[in-house]
Amino acid sequence: MSWDLRYGGRKLGSNFSHLIWSRFIVEITISKVAILMPSFKCKDIRLDCPFEATAKTSAELMKMIVVHANKEHHMKSLPHDIMEKIKKAIKP
pLDDT in tens, 28-37: 444 444 467 8
- For the entire predicted model, the pTM comes to 0.60
Contact 58, 71 (CB under 8 A): no
**3-state secondary structure at position 88:** helix
Give the H/E segment covering residue 6: strand 2-7
**pLDDT digits over 15-70, tens only?**
554 444 444 444 444 444 446 789 999 999 998 999 999 998 899 999 999 999 99
- Cα separation of 77 and 30, whole Å? 43
Q: What is the pLDDT of residue 22?
A: 41
pLDDT category at 3 given cuts 50, 70, 90 is low
Going by C-alpha positions, the residue among 42, 47, 43, 4 that lies closest to residue 26 is 4
**3-state secondary structure at position 45:** helix
Q: Cα 90 to chain center, whole Å? A: 12
Radius of gyration for the chain, computed over Cα atoms and rounded to the nearest angstrom: 23
